[in-house]
Each structure stands twice: as structure tokens, then as C-alpha cells.
Copies of this chain bind each other. A is one copy, B any other.
Amino acid sequence: MKKVTIKDIASIAGVSRGTVDRVINGRGNVTEEVEQKILKIASDLGYEKNLMASALASNRVYRIAIVTPDPNSDIFWAQPREGIQNALELVKHYGIITDYYDYNLFKKDEFCMQMENAINSRPDAILTAPTFTAESLEYLEMAEQNNIPFITINTEIHHPDILCYVGQNSFNSGYLAGRLFYLRLKPGDEIIALNLGHTLANAQHYSDKLAGLNAFFEQHNMSGNPIIWYEFDKFLDDDLLYEFWVDIKAKHPRMKGLFFTNSRGYRLVKFFNPEESQKYDVVGFDMIDPNIRFLKEDKIDFIINQNPILQGYTGIMNFVNHFVLKKDVKKIQYLPLDIVIKENVDFYIDNFKGYPVTKG
């Protein structure tokens, strides 16, 4: 049961290690006849390259440039980063080095600058959350020219040349939200879909989610339950937001469900009084701290989680699978849409991140 080495193959084939090495790694300069013989022996013996020895000998370094929003500009982005760092812990021995190019989520020019810096550093790959779609596509082309593949997470852009996408399926998350409202809806109840954010950034995301929600209601003949779409981009100003909320309530006495299209539901539900906490079914996204708090206080009823930590983790692991282990990687990987409620939230937070972790 001993492992087969290049030496074993060489001695059986009656050639030297060097020749076997050339065949295995396709370096050429080997007669057809010998090559075939060696390949046959290798496959008969079930030869598998010892990756440790290989990495050690080649002494190769892989560099990944990470272009994601600065967590300080939007706390959500701490989570993908956490996953990235955890993955690195497991695979850094393969010689993987990362450089971070942070940008302010709300500043397009910062994004562009950092993306250029990243490309100019000539990394082996760029891992990015392409929050600015149009610009991302441009840089993708530019990187393409320099043979730098893109690994994208969280925000889907459609382009044949990305190495992979790991993240959410927005349409389906809206559709899922539809079911969650449906569970408790009565005839005539209204749903308010609320986008606390700027239309420009991530527009596709939001409209896909809404489309999914609408699709569910249509397919379940819920024409008696209207969905009303609002957008409010001054969400950072509590006074204005409160005014907006009072206004909404006045306009929609039959409001029963509240659908937040992103992670910022916490900004509004903090205005709920106890009675309102009871009355409304609230569905929001992402397990960031304030959302978790309000989930536990019954102000938010369901959080749909797309495991951003796992997105980062998987992004790195895909790199390893592709570059180090030379395995095919699935191009589109939609993560599960976890339904998080008060009763299972702690397990998602404390004990597990979707992959094994150590104590320290």
C-alpha cells in the first residue's frame, strides 16, 4: 500500500527520474513510445503526485489580490474577509500570499483605483466583490489581457471569463421571502418591500429580489395581497428615516409584511414599539450584529443568510483547487439560503461558520 513515486515509475520503465518528470508534467522532449509507456505505468500504478514535495521543490508562490469593500465603510464586509482569512490559515502552506485592496463601498473612484492597483501588481488571481457592475466588467477585460483570472463573490456579474462566482441567487432569495410571508398572510394584507440604499449600487441585486418575491405571489394566486415597492436613500439620517416610516404607516394601514432588500433592516426596525414588533412579519438579509439583536427581540422575524463568511472561504478554496490542486472548479456556486430565526441563530453564530474552525 506504499505510495507510488516518480522513482518507482522510472525504475519500472527503465528510464531516469528526469524522463518521467518530463512526461508527468508535459515538458516535452520525450519520444512518443517512451511517453506512452510511462503514462501507462503511471496509470496502472495509480500514481498521484505528492503535492507537498511538489510545492516544496518548486518553491512557487501564489499571489491573490483581494479587492473588496472596506469593512469600515460597511460592516457586512467583515464577514467575507473572515472566511478568507480562515481559509488562508488552512492553505497558506501551499505558498499562498494575499494582498488586500480595500475601497469604500460607496465610492466608485476608490474601487477603480484599487482595482487598477491590484491589476498592476500582477497577481495570479483577483478575488473581488464586483459591487460596481459596469466598471467591474471593464477591469475584468483588462485583467483578462494580462491573464489574471477573476474570482467573484457576493455580487454576480455575468461574463464567460470569470473563473468562478460564489454567492447568492438574488431572485431565489426573494422567492424564498415570498414563502416566509405566505406562511402567515391573510387576505388583504399588504407587503412593503423596502430598499434602504442607493439605486445605483447593486441595482440588479435589488430588482432581482423583488422579481422573485413577486413571482412567488403570482404563482400562488395572491393577487389579494399587494406588494408595494419603496426606496429610501437617506437611511443614515435617523430623523428623516423615522419621518419616512411614520409616513409609510399612515399610508398603509393594511401593511402586514416588511421586506428589506439588504442588510440594513436594523436601521428601521429600531423604531418599532412592542405592539409593532408583534404585528409585522419582517424579513431581512444578512446576519450582522444589529440584525441579530433585533431578531432576538422579535423585531425581525426571519433573516435570510447567504453565509458571506463561507463565500470568502470558498473563494480562496476555489483558487487552491484550481491553481494548486489543478482541479476543475464549478463556475457558479450558489450558496444555500439559510433561514435564520431566533431559535437557530445561535448555532449559526457561535458554533459554526460552515466549515471547521479551531479554538484560537
Contact = CB atoms under 8 A, between A and B. Distances in A.
Interface in A311-360: 313-314, 317-318, 321, 325, 327-330, 332-339, 341-344, 347-348, 351-352, 354-360
**How many copies of this chain does one complex carry?**
2
Contacts of A200: none
Interface in A113-136: none
A52 interface: yes
A56 B57 CA distance: 11
B52 A343 contact: no
Contacts of A359: 327-330
A45 interface: no
A333 B352 contact: yes
Contacts of A335: 347, 351-352
Given A333-B351, A338-B338, A347-B169, A360 B53 contact: no
A251 interface: no
A354 B351 contact: no
B357 A330 contact: yes
A343 B344 CA distance: 19
A202 interface: no
Contact of A360 (B51, B172, B328): B328
Given A50-B56, A334-B352, 20 more contacts: A51-B93, A52-B94, A169-B347, A172-B347, A176-B341, A176-B344, A179-B341, A179-B342, A216-B343, A314-B356, A325-B358, A328-B359, A330-B351, A330-B359, A333-B356, A335-B352, A336-B347, A336-B351, A339-B344, A354-B354
Contacts of A176: 341, 343-344
A330 B355 CA distance: 13
A356 B50 contact: no
A339 to B, nearest CB: 4
Interface in A22-69: 50-53, 55-56
B336 A348 contact: yes
A49 to B, nearest CB: 9
A324 B183 CA distance: 48
A356 B94 CA distance: 17
A94 B52 CA distance: 8
A330 B347 contact: no
11 contacts: A52-B52, A183-B184, A310-B354, A327-B359, A328-B360, A329-B358, A334-B347, A336-B338, A336-B348, A336-B354, A354-B354
Chain A binding surface, main DSSP class:
mixed
Nearest to A318: B356
Interface of A: 1, 50-53, 55-56, 93-94, 97, 169, 172, 175-176, 178-179, 183-184, 216, 310, 313-314, 317-318, 321, 325, 327-330, 332-339, 341-344, 347-348, 351-352, 354-360
A356 B321 contact: yes
With most chain B CB atoms within 10 A of its CB, the pick from A56, A332, A334, A347 is A347
A336 B350 CA distance: 10
Nearest to A97: B1
A52 B341 CA distance: 43
Nearest to A173: B344
